[in-house]
Amino acid sequence: MDTRAFKRSLHHSERYNRRGFGLGEQVAVNLEEAYQSELIATIRENGYELRHGRLTVRLAEAFGFCWGVERAVAMAYETRRHYPSERIWITNEIIHNPSVNAHLRDMNVLFIRVEEGVKDFSEVGVGDVVILPAFGATVQEMQLLNERGCHIVDTTCPWVSKVWNTVEKHKKHAFSSIIHGKVKHEETLATSSFAGTYLVVLGLDEAQMVCDYILGKGDREAFISHFAKASSPGFDPDLDLARVGVANQTTMLKSETEEIGRMFERTMLQRYGPAELNDHFLAFNTICDATQERQDAMFSLVDEPLDLMVVIGGYNSSNTTHLQEIAISRGIRSFHIDTPERIGPGNRIEHMPLGGNLEMVTPFLPEGPLRVGITSGASTPDRVVEDVIRHLMQLCDD
Ligand code: SF4
C-alpha cells in the first residue's frame, strides 16, 4: 500500500484535522484546573526539593506531561468544544493515564471497545468524530474511519509522525525497518503499519540475535519462529536482512535504542565492508527529546542518596516503565504506581513491580529521616504528582 499517498489525500480531506480548532485560550482554564499544580510549581522554584518534617522529596528535573501529550489533551478538549453535540470517540486511551482518560469520559468522550486486543469499530457511524491518540493509529484504522465518513481529529505527536516518515523512507529505498519497540504497543503497531518489510526487536538480546543471523550464525527456522509475531508477513531473514534501517518506539530507553543502532551499523560494516555500508545500513535520528530529557533527569536523580523512589504513570506506559528500570538498575527501592490512592493509610503502598503483578507492601516508609525521589512518565499531570506527595506527607505525619 502507498501509505504516503493515502496520508497526503487524508490531510487534504475536509473531515480531517491535525492542528486543533484555534480554541486554545478557551480550554486553557479547564486544562489548568484539571491538571496543573501550585505545589509542584513551588517545588520547581525551590530547586526541585520539598521538606516536610522528616520527609525530603526530591523531584526529577524533567518529569510529567511532555509537550506532545499536552498538545493531544488540549486538542481533545478543543474537539469537545468544537463539536458540542456530536458523538466523539477516541480510538484508544488518548495517553496512558487513568486520570486524564477519566476526565475525558466525564466530558462524554467515548472509547472504542477493545476485545481480546482487537478494536471494535462497529458502533462508530457516519458523521461521528474520532480522535486519534498521541501515539497514533494504524493506517488501516485511519482508512476505515475515513471510508466510514467520520471526522478525524489526529493528535499524533509530530515525533511519532517523524518515525513513520523514517520507515516510509526505508520502504521507498527497499530497506527493511528494524523497529526497537514493544510489539503490542499501539505506537509500534502504528509504525509497523506504515513500514514495508519490518522486524520488531524488544531489546539488546533480540537485536543481537538478528545481528548474529546477518553474520551467518543463526538457524533459519528458529529465527522465523521467534519473530513470527514481530515481523511483516512473509519476512525472509535471508533476503530481508541484507539492507536495514533502524527506527524506534519513541518512548524506549534512549541508550538502548542508540546501542541497537550501533550494533546494526557494526554488523553491516563487518558483513559488507565500509565501501558498501551505505547500501546496507540507514542511520536514524528519531529519539524524542522529551523521553530523553526525562531519562537524563532520572539518571541525575538516582545519583543522589535516596531511601526510595516513587515512579508515577500508567501501568501500560512504556516511558514510565523505563524510568523505573533506571531506579532498579541502581539498586534503589522503587515503586511504580498509577494513581495517588495506591499510597494509603496504615503505611501501605500498592505498586506494580517491574514485570510483575500488583503487590501490597506494608510497612512502606521506614522510620526516621527520609529522602524520597519522585518522577513521573510523560502522560502524568502535575496534579497527580502533587496528590502523591500529599499522601506521602500524610503518612509521615501519622
Ligand atoms: S513522549 Fe515524545 S513522542 Fe511521545 S508524545 Fe511525548 S513528545 Fe511525543
pLDDT in tens, 211-255: 999 999 999 999 999 999 999 999 999 999 999 999 999 988 888
Task: Find the domain containing 302 and state its range.
Answer: 37-65+290-397
**CATH number of the domain encompassing residue 84:** 3.40.50.11270
Of 187, 206, 350, 386, the catalytic one is: 187
In tens, the pLDDT along 347-372 reads 999 999 998 999 999 999 999 999 99
CA of 126 to the centre of ligand 1 (A): 31
The torsion angles phi and psi of 233, rounded to 5 degrees, stand at: -55, 135
The torsion angles phi and psi of 132, rounded to 5 degrees, stand at: -90, 135
Alpha carbon distances (Å) from 24 to 36, 65, 110, 245:
16, 17, 22, 38
The torsion angles phi and psi of 395, rounded to 5 degrees, stand at: -65, -40
What average pLDDT does range 12-36 have in this prediction?
A: 94
Q: Is residue 6 situated within a structural domain?
A: no
Q: Is residue 22 situated within a structural domain?
A: no
Q: Which residues are 344's β-sheet partners?
A: 348
Q: Is residue 2 situated within a structural domain?
A: no
Query: 370 and 299 share a domain?
Result: yes
**Position 99 pLDDT exceeds 90:** no
206 included as an active-site residue: no
Rounded Cα distance between 392 and 390, Å, is 5
Q: Can you tell me which atom of ligand 1 is nearest the CA of 160?
A: 3
CA of 348 to the centre of ligand 1 (A): 32
Rounded Cα distance between 223 and 209, Å, is 8
Mean pLDDT value across the chain: 94
Rounded Cα distance between 76 and 74, Å, is 5
CA of 155 to the centre of ligand 1 (A): 11
pLDDT at 92: 80
159 lines ligand 1 (CB under 6 A): yes
pLDDT at 100: 87
Residue whose cell numbers read 510549581? 41
Q: Minimal CA–CA distance to 183: which of 255, 267, 117? A: 117
Q: Can you tell me which atom of ligand 1 is nearest the CA of 291?
A: 1
Q: Can you tell me which atom of ligand 1 is nearest the CA of 72?
A: 5
CA of 290 to the centre of ligand 1 (A): 6
Rounded Cα distance between 171 and 165, Å, is 10
In tens, the pLDDT along 244-272 reads 999 999 988 888 999 999 999 999 999 99
pLDDT at 253: 83
Number of separate helices (H) and strands (E) present in the chain: 16, 19
Q: Is 331 left (phi over 0), alpha (psi -120 to 50) or beta?
A: left
Alpha carbon distances (Å) from 373 to 40, 100, 306, 320, 364:
14, 24, 6, 14, 14
Alpha carbon distances (Å) from 389 to 49, 327, 343, 368:
11, 18, 10, 18
In tens, the pLDDT along 269-323 reads 999 999 999 999 997 777 788 888 999 999 999 999 999 999 999 898 888 999 9
Q: Note whether 339 and 314 are within 8 A (CB).
A: no
Cell numbers describing residue 121: 469499530
Q: Note whether 134 and 161 are within 8 A (CB).
A: no
pLDDT at 398: 79
Query: Has this prediction a pTM greater than 0.85?
Result: yes
The last residue of a domain, from among 233, 266, 287? 287
160 lines ligand 1 (CB under 6 A): yes
Q: Is residue 138 situated within a structural domain?
A: yes
In tens, the pLDDT along 155-211 reads 999 999 999 999 999 999 999 999 999 999 999 999 999 999 999 999 999 999 999
Q: Is residue 18 situated within a structural domain?
A: no
What average pLDDT does range 66-82 have in this prediction?
A: 94
Query: 175 and 281 share a domain?
Result: yes
CA of 161 to the centre of ligand 1 (A): 10
Instruction: Count the residues in the chain.
Output: 398
| Amino acid occupying residue 293 | E
Query: 311 and 372 share a domain?
Result: yes
Q: Can you tell me which atom of ligand 1 is nearest the CA of 95?
A: 5
Q: Is residue 30 situated within a structural domain?
A: no
Query: Could you tell me which residue, 100 or 389, shows the higher pLDDT?
Result: 389
Q: Is residue 162 situated within a structural domain?
A: no
Cell numbers describing residue 220: 533459519
Q: Which of 97, 132, 251 to mutate to test the pocket of ligand 1 (most atoms within 8 A of CB)?
A: 251
Q: Is residue 31 situated within a structural domain?
A: no
